[in-house]
Amino acid sequence: MEIFESGYAAVLVGYIFIFLRDHRLGRVFGADAAIRLFPGSVRIPDVSFISWERLPRDKAPLPDLVPDLAVELLNELNTRKEMERKLNDYLHAGVRLVWYVDPATRSAKVYSAGGVRELTEADDLDGGDVLPGFRLRLADWLAEAERTGPRG
């Protein structure tokens, strides 16, 4: 993960963390949280949320678990085939909500059991059944992550 992509992820982790302080639903993790979705499939989402029900009690360094939310930040190095493979792995394993966010086009795709929704920066990401009550305007998140100084 490159430094600016990491910045987007860190800001999103912060927003979700603040939400979780009041809505004790589980834990949010950053891009160094590798997980084994199923044998032979290790994934490292840029951001993930795991509900208390799915969070393992043991502290295995590479746990077998399925996050409730997986977020991938797209960049020019990602191939379409790679991202389709990741999405198929996430959904096949039982990830309930997947956000693919493209900062370059200021857009996102939201995948869930209900299908796919395409968002522009004017739209809100919402947590659906996974993070009920969580809403974040895509433009606000991107602007915060792209800030170049104390005033903007």
Q: Residue 36 sits in a domain of what CATH number?
A: 3.90.1570.10
What does the pLDDT look like over 101-139, one tens digit per residue? Answer: 999 999 999 999 889 999 999 999 999 999 999 999 999
DSSP strand pairing (97-102 vs 41-43):
unpaired
Q: pTM of the predicted model, to two decimals?
A: 0.94
What is the residue whose two structure tokens read 């991202």?
A: 83
Does 150 map to a domain? Answer: no
Choice between 63 and 80, residue whose per-residue pLDDT is larger: 80
Does 111 map to a domain? Answer: yes
Does position 62 have pLDDT exceeding 90, yes or no? no
Amino acid at 84: E
Please tell me whether residue 144 adopts helix, strand or coil conformation: helix
Does position 3 have pLDDT exceeding 90, yes or no? no
Amino acid at 17: F
Q: Which domain holds residue 12?
A: 3-145
Q: For residue 83, what are its two tokens?
A: 């991202």
Does 28 map to a domain? Answer: yes
Choice between 31 and 85, residue whose per-residue pLDDT is larger: 85
